[in-house]
Structure 1
Amino acid sequence: MGDRGKTEEGADFETAIAECGFGLFNVFILFSAVPCLAAMVFSASALSYVMPSAECDLNLTLVQKGMLNAVTYGGMILSAVPWGFMADTFGRRPVLISGGWLDGIFILCAALSQDTLQLMIFKFFDGLIICGPFAVVVSYLAEFHGKKHRPYIMLFVGLAVSMGSMMLPFLAYFLMPVSIYFKVGSLEFRTWHVFLAISAIPSLLSGFLHIFLPESPKFLMAQGNYNKALKSLQRIYQINKRKSRDSYPVKHLSDVVPDRSEVLEQKSRASSLKERFQKTKEKFLEGTRQIKPMFRKPYLSISIQVYCLHFCQITCVNSVRLWLPQIFATMHVMEAQGFNDTSMCAVVEHNNLAMTLNQEEKKMECDLRHSPDSYLDNITVSGIGLLGFILIFPLLRIRLVAHHILKVFLFFCTFLVGGLYFCTDTLVTMLVSAIYLTLMGICATTIISMSVVIFPTLMRTMVLMLIMTFGRLGSLSGNIVLPIFMQISCMAPFLWLCSLMAAAFFFSLFLKVDDQQPLV
């Protein structure tokens, strides 16, 4: 009776969301998040599967391949702060809807590209747009679930990303070996163009599904819009409990932010151009006030640690992950040509020599690159990653595991990435890289999960954007620098990756976060 009385007086967010339970609404919001999370993987990784085929049509050099892998991340870096500002000022839902549709359009434009420059430009815009929905959907999911389910929700993000990583090589396995060629006017289209066009589906689907979902109640409460937040919570309660909205036990909401519902409702009725401009100006000034705490204690020092850690680990992850399709394709070409040595050093040397082949020799090599076997290796790597998330899922509920998993995995990964140098055949390379990418994927999800509970609502998406920006900065620099190291020597890229992994492990030693604490 005491709890019920408290909810009728005025409940905080954690109490209010707990009353909604977990049901059909939560299933639908998770289902809607999957295309958005998969879209991020598709945007970042699609070109790495296209490269073994497209390099022949576009005559790509080793450096151009690195640039194509990196250009999407360049767009993500530039748009991170604007997207974060918009999401923390105007809301999560508008970003998810508009971002999904816009990203799908730019991917379709990339699928129409006829040369390297066009492909780079549209993939840059793809990165510019997809950055927003991906970071926002993490905050959005966290803000629709209570602390009982939140750790599982954050792991679900990693699981969905792993599913996206597995869908992409499956698509490549069935589509890329098929010879497709047709012309529309002066435009020529091949298999890889069709592959890119299909990769736009998750973005378009994400934009469509989020039309049917409400704004985050936690975001609305943080803005002082309690009336709208209560309506959002009542809707969740109605769908989950299959009861009327009026039976929702919480009648009033309370938070540290004063109730501004009436003021906000009056502002939303502004119709003239001058009033709308004034409203946007106020939103902008309000947003700048909200991010000021990022540059003061206690958030400044911990955010710098997280930024540096994420930079180092994502540089290493994407330096390996985005080049794996190219590595496996080269290994299978070498096996088909009768090479006995398919070690990493032999692969690097073969790719360097491939640049000097004449047109006829290049065509023969390109034909061999369409082997389905090379895509099977990528499917296996992604499958092991998915299995790893499923196995680790229940273990993260154990406090001791949750507190130390980041440090332990980063320590082991330092040796795993160095171990790739000693891999001598396709099978060993596949297993070592699969274990490495699985452990690193869990580490990346753990950092995002930590960040969600560390930072308050009105700066949460901005901080997540900045964390991901540092990771993407690592991906960008990694994919530009890696081809240069490959041309210097075989050992150089591995020494570089091991050094970054050691730095990531060092930063992880200072991070301590309780993922059971309530959202602020």
Structure 2
Amino acid sequence: MTEEAADFETAIAECGFGLFNVFILCSAAPCLTAMVFSASALSYVMPSAECDLDLSIVDKGMLHAVTYAGMIISAVPWGFIADTIGRRPVLISGGWLDGIFVLCASFSQNTAQLMAFKFFDGFIICGPFAVVVSYLAEFHGKKHRPYIMLFVGLCVSAGSMIIPLLAYVLLPVPIFFKVATLEFRTWQIFLAVSSVPSLLTGLLHIFLPESPKFLMAQGNYKKALESLQRIYQLNKRKSKDSYPVKRLIDPTPERSADLDGTGRSLTLKERFERAKNKFLGGVSQLKPMFSRPYLAISLLVYCLHFCQIMCVNSVRLWLPQIFATMNAMESMGANDTSMCAVLDHNAMARFMDEDSKRVECALNHDPDSYLDNIIVSGIGLVGFIIIFPLLRIRVVADHILKVFLFICIFLVGSLYFVKTSLVTMIVSAIYLTLMGICATTIIGMSVVIFPTLMRTMVLLLIMTFGRLGSVCGNLVLPIFMQLNCLAPFLWLCSLMTFAFLFSLFLKVDDQQSLS
């Protein structure tokens, strides 16, 4: 029996792994899926929505960008709220709020309404997505924690597969009805269905306790112990009283000095005061980031991630539109279905006569136009499964980023020369898979490069720069599309070249100890 005081790792290990852990993983899966849906849903509804909302190519770019703009603005506030109020309230309120905003987006009758609600969708979902990873990690001990990150990656990949499958099943179904003055079509029903993961997130986390690690950090040892006893009871099928740990301690001296050990719950004012002090302390700890050697390295990583995410999301978010247009052109008997012809067709779509518009809008509901997206997602999932075991080989881990970025320069450039949807699908699938691996590799490198006190803030900044790249890419790309066919491909190749050059200066020993 461990009747003496135990730290968190000892206490959570006593709980084992069982029914509670399965439930918390099942509750986290919708949250991780909701993030993918928020970022990608508009890509699939765009071919249908453009007919109803009369979208220009610039409108489409802005609609892709606004969700990421919301994520950028809310990243730091959500982190502060989660560290002050708790993980569970963020997951519950964030899930419900995001679901409501996605439902509001499905009620949109014009471009401005859709844009506003998708902005708030991105603003809200950023919180639960960031918190759910910490929440999962704080309910698992050292033994199972590495598998949690694998589960997170698997859920995100599964979400990327589910959304094109949902589009394949739902979007080809002709739906139209009116409620008072509001008109509802298939793409709005699709958006409404995409709110389900967010609403499930809010619902399922009502039945889960607050993170015991967070409660300990707040000095509320009594509630932390109750939370751990509940986990023990479900996992071991024994009474709470038989839980061997009777008292919790925090082994961190500087934190223990702040706690009175009485189990008294901190007031909200005290929590905000502590969170403010923690934030100011964290800012002061970031001073090394602005000195050698971390300043040069961090700037390299930010610029590299900015360029690669700008490039990859410029392709990924426009791909469903490109496939739908190719399918429509082939069905109408067009002789030229090259990428240039597709881009010209999209740029001139607003100036088509009503009959031609009606015919093309009907063709955009063809199920075949979504098959290519499903295959691209499937190839990406298989690619991750194949490549990740190879990262254990030292020579692969050392050079994979540089090699893949170099290959991707030619892959994104070769899209200019493709003539059929089949070749477009193959090239795009390989490109997006390699770029996804590069993005993950950068995150993994950053964990090793930067010391513990800088690591969380650096990772937050890396993701923020990536999202900023997504916003810039989707605002700038339509402008290049309107210039001429070659311009967007030269732009994307230039971005990839910059990313490759930045990678040449990154030298990381991934076997070194964490500092």
Deviation (angstroms), 1:199? 0.6
1:266–1:224 CA distance, 2 compared to 1 (3 A): closer
Q: Which moved more, 1:362-371 or 1:210-219?
A: 210-219
1:42–1:59 CA distance, 2 compared to 1 (3 A): same
Q: Which moved more, 1:255-264 or 1:71-80?
A: 255-264
Partners of 1:17 and 1:514 lie apart in 2 by: 29
2:487 maps to which residue? 492
1:280 to 238, 261, 272: 272
1:258 maps to which residue? 255
Partners of 1:239 and 1:178 lie apart in 2 by: 44
Partners of 1:396 and 1:27 lie apart in 2 by: 28
1:118 to 113, 120, 140: 113
1:277–1:141 CA distance, 2 compared to 1 (3 A): closer
Letter of the 2:206 counterpart? I
> Any conservation in 2 of the 1:154–1:445 contact (CA below 8 Å)?
no
Partners of 2:440 and 2:327 lie apart in 1 by: 32
2:413 maps to which residue? 418
1:160–1:373 CA distance, 2 compared to 1 (3 A): same
Letter of the 2:279 counterpart? G
> Any conservation in 1 of the 2:6–2:245 contact (CA below 8 Å)?
no
Deviation (angstroms), 1:409? 3.2
2:167 maps to which residue? 172
Partners of 2:228 and 2:512 lie apart in 1 by: 21
Letter of the 1:293 counterpart? Q
Q: Does 1:512 align with 2:492?
A: no
Letter of the 2:24 counterpart? I
TM-score normalized with structure 1 length: 0.87
- Alpha-carbon deviations, 1:306-362, whole Å to 9, x = none? 433322221112101110011001101111122232221221122223232122222
Matched residue SS, 1:296:
helix
Deviation (angstroms), 1:426? 0.6
Deviation (angstroms), 1:107? 0.5
Q: Does 1:437 align with 2:435?
A: no
- Alpha-carbon deviations, 1:457-477, whole Å to 9, x = none? 898665544332211111111
Partners of 1:89 and 1:301 lie apart in 2 by: 33
Q: Does 1:155 align with 2:142?
A: no
Deviation (angstroms), 1:183? 0.7
Partners of 2:394 and 2:280 lie apart in 1 by: 36
Q: Which moved more, 1:422-431 or 1:256-265?
A: 256-265
1:453–1:152 CA distance, 2 compared to 1 (3 A): farther
Deviation (angstroms), 1:501? 2.4
Number of corresponding residues: 508
Structure 1 residues 144-293: aligned runs within 5 Å = 144-223=139-218, 228-243=223-238, 246-248=242-244, 252-259=249-256, 260-262=258-260, 265-268=263-266, 270=267, 276-277=268-269, 279-293=271-285
Q: Which moved more, 1:344-353 or 1:46-55?
A: 344-353
Q: Does 1:467 align with 2:462?
A: yes
Partners of 1:485 and 1:445 lie apart in 2 by: 28
Deviation (angstroms), 1:106? 0.5
> Any conservation in 2 of the 1:342–1:424 contact (CA below 8 Å)?
yes
Partners of 1:379 and 1:50 lie apart in 2 by: 15
1:323 to 318, 326, 340: 318
- Alpha-carbon deviations, 1:185-237, whole Å to 9, x = none? 11111111111111100111112222233333444455555555455445444
- Alpha-carbon deviations, 1:106-129, whole Å to 9, x = none? 011111111111111111111110
Q: Does 1:501 align with 2:496?
A: yes
Matched residue SS, 2:419:
coil
Q: Does 1:337 align with 2:337?
A: no
Deviation (angstroms), 1:374? 0.7
Deviation (angstroms), 1:50? 0.9
Partners of 1:513 and 1:28 lie apart in 2 by: 38
Structure 1 residues 125-136: aligned runs within 5 Å = 125-136=120-131
Q: Does 1:28 align with 2:29?
A: no
Partners of 1:18 and 1:515 lie apart in 2 by: 27
1:107–1:208 CA distance, 2 compared to 1 (3 A): same
- Alpha-carbon deviations, 1:42-77, whole Å to 9, x = none? 111111111101111111111111111111111111
- Alpha-carbon deviations, 1:137-175, whole Å to 9, x = none? 223333444455444432332221121111111111111
Partners of 1:97 and 1:106 lie apart in 2 by: 14
1:341–1:306 CA distance, 2 compared to 1 (3 A): same
Q: Which moved more, 1:247-256 or 1:74-83?
A: 247-256
1:143–1:185 CA distance, 2 compared to 1 (3 A): same
> Any conservation in 2 of the 1:309–1:507 contact (CA below 8 Å)?
yes
Partners of 1:288 and 1:382 lie apart in 2 by: 42
Partners of 2:380 and 2:41 lie apart in 1 by: 18
1:147–1:444 CA distance, 2 compared to 1 (3 A): farther
1:382–1:189 CA distance, 2 compared to 1 (3 A): same
Matched residue SS, 1:183:
strand
1:494–1:9 CA distance, 2 compared to 1 (3 A): same
Identity %: 70
Matched residue SS, 2:344:
helix
> Any conservation in 2 of the 1:343–1:422 contact (CA below 8 Å)?
yes
Partners of 1:430 and 1:152 lie apart in 2 by: 32
Partners of 1:460 and 1:231 lie apart in 2 by: 31
Partners of 2:455 and 2:219 lie apart in 1 by: 17
Letter of the 1:283 counterpart? A
1:368–1:132 CA distance, 2 compared to 1 (3 A): same
2:373 maps to which residue? 378
Q: Does 1:390 align with 2:385?
A: yes
Deviation (angstroms), 1:34? 1.4
Partners of 2:95 and 2:109 lie apart in 1 by: 24
Please give the root-mean-square deviation of Cα atoms over the aligned residues, in Å. Answer: 3.2
Partners of 2:295 and 2:143 lie apart in 1 by: 28
> Any conservation in 2 of the 1:315–1:474 contact (CA below 8 Å)?
yes
Deviation (angstroms), 1:133? 1.2
TM-score normalized with structure 2 length: 0.88
> Any conservation in 1 of the 2:54–2:350 contact (CA below 8 Å)?
no
Relative contact order, higher structure (CA 8 A, sep 6+): 1
Deviation (angstroms), 1:8? 5.2
Matched residue SS, 2:21:
helix
1:208–1:512 CA distance, 2 compared to 1 (3 A): farther
Q: Does 1:92 align with 2:90?
A: no
> Any conservation in 2 of the 1:66–1:480 contact (CA below 8 Å)?
yes
> Any conservation in 2 of the 1:84–1:462 contact (CA below 8 Å)?
no
Partners of 1:304 and 1:323 lie apart in 2 by: 29
Q: Which runs of 5+ in 2 are unaligned?
A: none
